[in-house]
Amino acid sequence: MPSHAQPVRARLPAAVLLLALLTGPVACGRPDSAAVAPPPAEPQVVAQRFAVLRDHPLREAPASVLGKNETRLAAEVAARIEAIAVDVGDEVAAGQLLLRLDARDAALALERAEAALAQADARLAQARAQQQRAEALRARNFVSAEALTLRETELAAAVADRRAAAANVATARRAVEKCTLRAPFRAVVRARSAQVGELTAPGTPLLTLADLGDLQLVAQVQARDAEGLARAATVEFLAGEARHVLRPLRISPAISREARTVEARYAFVERPPAPGSEGRLAWREPRPHLAAELVVRRGSDYGVFLIEDGVARFRPLPAAQEGRPVAVELPDDALIAVQGRHALQDGMRVRLAAPPAAQR
């Protein structure tokens, strides 16, 4: 081995040591991000008490004023219309003349029936006299028992004929009465479908009357709102600028298959509007509600975030629907996240920020 090899080997450790000294401080001085990084900042949210946020939303449903009876008067006999005494919008009293048909044919039929009754009365009188005479003769054995039985049979037949004739007179008299239409109750004329000179047939509608004696408000209410309506403290009918306080009568339990509504009926506390008036049934939801924008979705559940001791707690609301206020039962002092809620997760620690002055 050459004589200079030993000095080279002696110098190698020194070179390695120098390299370590040059690179070691740099590596040791490099910051460890996992060790020295600050913990993530707690999200900041704005929360308000339930007593401030809760609301009792206004509910409405289409409604109209109807009489308890809305009657379509129709012809009962075939006759020509002779006169119409009322028009649409007229108020009529019970028993008032509304329409008159030509009753001449009915009057002639009544005369024939009365003449037949007179004949039946004469035959009955004759049969009764013959039966009485036969009884007297039979008592002295001047006629046979068979002859007396014949007279009794003739009398019974005469009695039956007289009853039939009397029924025919009553029928004919009713036909005359049917030629005159009168109001069955105090009402207003809603429609007129007849004209003077027209020939009517039995069942032909002539006039429509709306009962003024017992006006009611009838509304079609969404089935989901029926419970709140039943519990509402005040219910009103809104028609233009007018407001009418109502008294509940009944809410039907039957749900319309097509519209998913139920029928609600109310009576008017004071003077009712005119029958046929259209408007809205209005009431305040008795249960406290939260606005739809406060509801968030986590997984498949809708709910709100409550702030409890600096921790966000997700409160599912099974009845919540997207875009609709939701009924909530919470303590008045419960804190609900109103700003920053979309970034929250259940159990996350948060920092509370003061709400703007306008929202306090």
Residue 272 confidence (pLDDT) above 50: yes
Give residue 33's pLDDT band: very low, low, confident or very high (50, 70, 90): very low
How far is Cα 67 from Cα 188, in angstroms, rounded to an integer? 10
Q: What are phi and psi of 330, to 5 degrees?
A: -140, 160
3-class SS of residue 26? helix
Q: How high is the pLDDT of residue 13?
A: 52
Provide the residue type at 215 as one letter: L
Residue 349 makes CB contacts below 8 A (sequence gap 6+) with: 42, 310, 311, 312
Which pLDDT band holds residue 276 (cuts at 50, 70, 90)?
confident
pTM of the predicted model as reported, rounded to 2 decimal places: 0.58
> Do residues 334 and 49 lie in contact, with contact meaning Cβ atoms separated by under 8 Å?
yes
Tell me what pLDDT residue 319 has. 85
15-24, 169-178, 265-274, 277-286: range with lowest mean pLDDT:
15-24
CA dihedral 192, 193, 196, 201 (to 10 degrees): -130
Complete domains list, the chain, with CATH? 45-55+289-359 (2.40.420.20), 59-68+212-284 (2.40.30.170), 103-178 (1.10.287)
Report whether pLDDT(359) > 80: no
Q: Which residues are bridge partners to 251 per DSSP?
A: 264
Query: Minimal CA–CA distance to 57: which of 353, 357, 290?
Result: 290
CA end-to-end span of the chain, whole Å? Answer: 94
| Mean pLDDT computed over 146-168 | 93
| Summary mean pLDDT of the chain | 86
Does residue 115 carry a pLDDT above 90? yes
